[in-house]
Amino acid sequence: MMKKLLIICFLILASCNSKVDKNQLHLLNGYWEIKEVTFKDGAKKEYSINSTVDYIQLDSLSGFRKKVDPKFNGTFETSNDAEPFQIRISNDSIFMSYTNNSNTWEEVLTKLTEESFSVKNKEGLTYEYNRFEPINITP
């Protein structure tokens, strides 16, 4: 009987989906590199080496995301191609809403910690990012 109770408790805990709290949103600020993409069918694509990283800057519920190229001296090369986004909170979910000249899309923020975050788009793809640690090689 005790074993069955433990199994039921474990299943309940495993099925609980921890939501991202809006008080955590400041953790998005900084440099991130993609770790993996999980496809709708469960297949995964891992990224072991990234030539670019994403820089995210969020102020209140508005922000931008841009690609930057890390250099070996600890600096970054960048362009002016920032993708602005807004945070939208609905039904206890937090969305990153993007709009540019040709497209509009949203990603739901499924996980956010100091070291990683994940988003899922309407096509069912989940993108997982890790905090980027620059390599600084100075002579």
pTM score, whole prediction: 0.81
Burial class (CB in 10 A: 0-12, 13-18, 19+), 32: buried
Number of domains present in the structure of the chain: 1
Nearest residue to 30 (alpha-carbon basis) of 4, 3, 79, 63:
63
pLDDT of residue 18: 58
More confident residue, 46 or 14: 46
Range of the domain at 58: 24-131
The H helix count followed by the E strand count for the chain is 1, 10
- Three-state DSSP at 38 gives strand
pLDDT of residue 66: 95
In a domain, residue 92? The reply is yes
pLDDT single digits (tens) 34-85: 999 999 999 999 999 888 999 999 999 999 999 999 888 878 898 888 999 9
CATH number of the domain within which 103 lies: 2.40.128.280
Query: Could you tell me the end-to-end alpha-carbon distance of the chain, in angstroms, rounded to an integer?
Result: 65
